[in-house]
Amino acid sequence: MRRNIRINNYALIITALISIGQFADASPLGFPPLPFIRGGSATTATKTRTTKQQHQRQRRQRKTGGPIPGPLKLVGNVKQGLDKIGGYIQNDWKKISKGMQTVQGNIGKFVVNIPKALPFLPPRKRQLKCSKLDDVCKTFSACLKGSEVDTAQLIKACRTHLIFMKSGGSSLRLVAKDLESNLQKAEKPFKKSPKQGKTLSSLLESEREAGIHQGNVLKEQSAAMGLLWIRRSLAFQLDLYSSLIAQNGPHPRDAAYEAYSKHLSPFHGWALRKVFPASLSQMPDRQAFIAKFGGVSLEELNDEYDREVVKKLKSLVAAWDPLLSTWEKDFARLDLEDMRKV
């Protein structure tokens, strides 16, 4: 029985080796036929030596350093074939990468030359970053309701304008700080009784009727005091921004000095008359202001951008002019124009 099992094992081994030989013959890698399987088919099985003789021959070959057994040679051939394939892949990848670089370069040249090839197409225009200036124009334009000033909208507009001023550089920093301080004075009383202060005139009347002022000597921490100085600050800025509309107008520094002398200096004491002009001396030229308001650099500023920013400044000045006039009339009618110096 053991003999039969051994014979079956031998038969399985021989069948496996024959299959390997067939694989080697049909391999796409072109491996040579196995040396110990002649023809690689079952028909040659009868011509092979006995299993005992094959074992003896393999032992002699290993001792004498003879030929490599068939399975090991097959593994070596597979490895060589895979190495060749890897080399082919690397060479092809290099060619593909070089081709992609060439294609990218050609695409770049094509895109650059589109305006030259199609001169009738206008150059791409960069969008101005005027959102803050647009918000200021929009909010102030909605403040005046007929002959009345909407207090909530006015405070909102002043808050929006404060954000815009802080983005305008160091030249308006002191003006922005003063505006913020007075805006806080106006907001606090309004939030306590928004219904009574729905309009600017009703807010001023409610404070006067409450007896917190002494005639036209206003209480320091009151809505009237805050709104008085906000109005003067906006009147100063109206004259300054108006000077930026004309390209050949005065230097912004000179326009700021003149506006300060008209709207703020009469109500400033000795200390503020020294501090404010010093801060105004840092005013840049007109182009720097326009570029800053438009959200572009000086190098990018051109006539088209200039016209857009000027158009928005005109809109802001047009909204301020009637608003400040109504504002001033409300204070005069209620005799709340405090002329003291600070």
Ordered mean pLDDT values, 10 residues apiece, the chain (342 residues)? 53 52 44 45 47 67 56 59 69 72 65 52 56 93 96 97 84 89 95 92 95 95 97 97 93 96 96 92 91 89 93 96 97 96 92
Residue 55's pLDDT is 67
Q: Residue written as tokens 């002649």?
A: 38
Residue 150 β-bridge partners: 199
Predicted confidence at residue 5, as pLDDT, reads: 53
The DSSP secondary-structure symbol of 39 reads S
What was the pLDDT predicted at 46? 44
Strand locations in the chain (E): 144-145, 148-149
pLDDT at 51: 66
Indicate the residue type of 216: N
Asked whether 179 and 162 are in contact (CB, 8 A), the reply is: yes
pLDDT at 304: 92
Q: What is the pLDDT of residue 290?
A: 92
- Name residue 145's beta-bridge partners: 148
- The C-alpha atoms of residue 300 and residue 307 are separated, in whole angstroms, by 14
End-to-end alpha carbon distance in the chain? 124
3-state class (DSSP) for residue 167: coil
What's the pLDDT score for residue 101? 72
H/E element, 227: helix 223-245
Say if residues 210 and 218 touch (Cβ distance below 8 Å). Answer: no
Nearest to 37 by CA among 45, 72, 12, 29: 45
